[in-house]
Amino acid sequence: MSVVLTAPRVGKECIFSASPIARRLRRTFTTQIPLLWSPPFKKLQPSDFSKQPPRKLRPPPPSQRSAEGGRPPSKRRGGEDTPRVTEWHTVTKPTEKQLRGLQNYLQQFSNSQYIRSKCLGMGVTADIYEPGMKAFITALMNNEIEGLSVGDAVAHLLAKSRADRFLLPSYYKYVTAKYPEETETLRSLMSFSDLTEPAEWHKETRRMQRKIILHLGPTNSGKTYAALKRLEECDAGIYCGPLRLLAHEVYERLNAKGVPCNLLTGEERRESDGVNKYAATVEMAPLNKRFEVAVLDEIQMIGDEGRGWAWTQGLLGLQADEIHLCGEPTIVPLVRAMMKDTADTIEIRRYERLTKLAVAETGLGGQLQKLKRGDCIATFSRQNIFALKRAIEEKTSLRAAVIYGSLPPETRTEQAKQFNDPNGPYDVLVASDAIGMGLNLNIGRMIFERVEKWNGKETKVLSISQVKQIAGRAGRFGTEFETGVVCTLDDYDMRTMKRLLNSQAPSILSAGLFPSLEQIEVFSQYLPGEPLSALLERFQDLANLDGRYFLCNLDSQRVIAEFIEDIPLTLRDRYTFILAPFNLQDPASAAQMRRFATAQSGGLECLMEDSVVLGDHPPQTIDQLKDLEAQHRLIILYMWLSQRFPETFTDLDNALYLKRKCEDLIDRGLANLKFERKRKITGAAKHALKLQKKAERLARLAGTTEKAETSETVVEVPPVQEEVQQKQPVEKEAPAEVLVQEKY
């Protein structure tokens, strides 16, 4: 996305984007061009309450800017470390201007049809909405609202918080206290959406005296290894990881050592009689089993907006004598606060990195020719990954492996294995942040292609944790690269990289929660006829939380619920479908999702072969590879549903066969996807090639492939000769062939 800024001194417009050239221009001109910003209390439309407007930051005064035009180094910059770390602080004494702005904002909040419709849907009748809202605004301006001061309200507005997230809950509490008889339904719904004591949801676990052991340290410090050693020694235990790939790795490692272990993921179960150890994804952790040891890996993900609830559920609900938490030190204050409610004991073990990690003085200057074997370039889009792979293989003699999130976990493991092998086919690795966890890689130097990432809404600087997690993959203990090096592809990103690596990540402030099926069923009884998407929205509006917990983002679940709303399903089945691993952005997958839901609704048997048909040849282009990845995701969705609805999705054996076949085709496609190094064309050969391309273009327009007819003449295509720059001279009588490469 480009931003147009007016430059008063030069009288022109400058377009700033995320491209390298534009970033250089931005750093050149920011000291001369003041950024335009709007006051925090602009006039809002009713539609503004339904979505959060983008935040605009006022630039620092010129005296506080660095020599490059940016802000001075700060330990708090570099993007949000977790979705729950906010950047606003309570305004202790608002100014007169801020109070006037708040008054205007509250008036628009009161007049908003969006807010009015929400309140009417909650049982606040029209005859009490107006007087209740007027009294609420007066009480808020007089600092008489419990839990929301005037300073807090101003701070929320400065941070561009959504009005229905910080004002509506306070209004509901106020209006139910002022009109208790008229708001009986609302009071009942508020009581069922009380999430202030999630520890009490697990009664059996609260009867236990557990020991919480925190293994804290950076990447490549051996913290997870120490926890898994304890898992090997016990009689009954479970490993809970964030990725199916990690669960498979632990499952295979334990069984290879002669320690029987079961596998439990959303798509697959491998269980044997008499085996009491499990390797599972964190969402699949069984809370009704007793264990001696439980390992919760990557515990800092408890603050993730989408999946944090699974780590909260595991930490509060697992029935294990010892719970080993592996992750970053940023989690300590939150775990201590949560364990006060459970009365569990805490032990902290800290680990240091086993190998050295050095930061280079400069980047590569944008020159891929400086790459060497063992390097890894981190970039953050699938398109960039293949563009870099092409550029590396065309400009150097190196072969590049690729790893990114949409690849099947098995394919990622195979690519990592071939990259790690000194005699393997790959010399360097191009990867996304998917390498941040779950893969053992022999990386000597980690190179960041950029230090920004698109988060689905905007391009933001990488967080401190993201940078440290990825950078820490360089230098692996026990390999030839025991000393890791970190740098950037472009020199101008090195300053940001050094600042992020030298900064301390902020502590994780709260843990995620998710509404249970039982809570949604209670809501449906009080709000009969409301679809599931509306029930989720109502629950989100009424959820009562304390400072240690937050409600996970329900937007994707609401979208899926709306997508299958017209299909007659029970509430329980509909709730299961919205939790499925499914992305509506893929049209083919969306059509199959409706087909799956329709089959479950009608009690019809759904076969895998009706949804996925695979050929026998590996993909030849990047687009074909992308289609095959989509087919693999569809197979995984079918397997996931077969674990929940075995009577409908009965073709599990065929799905497993197609899954392995699809992964084999993807592996073969990546192995064949190579780009030849370009030979430089100069002189007469370059001119002849231009003539050939022009003639071919004219020929296509004329409808013939051999000659292009004009109104008077026929242009014959001359034979093309090429001059190739080599150390040995090329004989003129034997012109080199022009290499025409297929565009993948």
Looking at residue 626, which CATH number applies to its domain? 1.20.58.1080
Any idea of the CA torsion for 51, 53, 55, 58, to the nearest 10 degrees?
A: -150
- Does 547 fall in a domain? no
More confident residue, 237 or 14: 237
Are 341 and 402 members of one domain? no
How many angstroms separate the CA atoms of 443 and 245, rounded? 19
Are 140 and 42 members of one domain? yes
Are 637 and 718 members of one domain? no
Q: Could you give the number of structural domains in the chain?
A: 5
Whichever domain contains 274, its CATH number is: 3.40.50.300
Q: Considering Cα of 221, then 465, then 349, then 276, what sign does the dihedral take?
A: negative
Are 376 and 328 members of one domain? no
- Does 321 fall in a domain? yes
Q: Which of 333, 350, 367 is the last residue of a domain?
A: 350
| pLDDT bucket at 587, cuts 50 / 70 / 90 | confident
Provide the pLDDT for residue 364: 94
Please name the helix (run of DSSP H) or strand (run of DSSP E) that holds residue 448, with its range, or none.
strand 445-448
Tell me the CA distances in angstroms from 430 to 326, 384, 741, one per residue in order.
Answer: 27, 9, 21
How many angstroms separate the CA atoms of 344 and 624, rounded? 53
Are 314 and 339 members of one domain? yes
How many angstroms separate the CA atoms of 296 and 313, rounded? 11
Are 333 and 435 members of one domain? no
- Percentage, residues of the chain above pLDDT 90: 51
- Does 563 fall in a domain? no
- Mean pLDDT on 427-449: 90
Are 209 and 321 members of one domain? yes
Q: What is the residue whose two structure tokens read 């698109």? A: 454
Provide the pLDDT for residue 190: 87
Provide the pLDDT for residue 93: 79
- Mean pLDDT on 341-365: 93
Are 308 and 402 members of one domain? no
Listed residue (655, 690, 678, 660) closest to 740, CA to CA: 678
Provide the pLDDT for residue 744: 28
Provide the pLDDT for residue 692: 80
Tell me the pLDDT tens digit for each residue of 482-529.
889 999 999 999 999 999 999 998 889 899 999 999 999 988 988 888
| pLDDT bucket at 1, cuts 50 / 70 / 90 | very low
- Does 513 fall in a domain? no
For residues 376 and 428, is the Cβ–Cβ distance under 8 A? yes
How many angstroms separate the CA atoms of 562 and 419, rounded? 43
Are 64 and 120 members of one domain? yes
Q: Which amino acid is at 481?
A: F
Q: Which of 501, 523, 549 is the last residue of a domain?
A: 501
Are 215 and 274 members of one domain? yes
The domain in which residue 617 lies consists of 605-678
Tell me the CA distances in angstroms from 273 to 102, 202, 276, 277, 292, one per residue in order.
Answer: 64, 27, 9, 11, 18
- Does 26 fall in a domain? no
* pLDDT at residue 339 tops 90: yes
Q: Which amino acid is at 444?
A: G
* pLDDT at residue 695 tops 50: yes
Q: Which of 144, 173, 192 is the last residue of a domain?
A: 192
- Mean pLDDT on 292-316: 95
| pLDDT bucket at 703, cuts 50 / 70 / 90 | low
* pLDDT at residue 685 tops 80: no
| pLDDT bucket at 681, cuts 50 / 70 / 90 | low
Provide the pLDDT for residue 91: 55
Provide the pLDDT for residue 374: 94
- Does 490 fall in a domain? yes
Are 436 and 340 members of one domain? no
Are 263 and 407 members of one domain? no
- Does 742 fall in a domain? yes
- Does 173 fall in a domain? yes
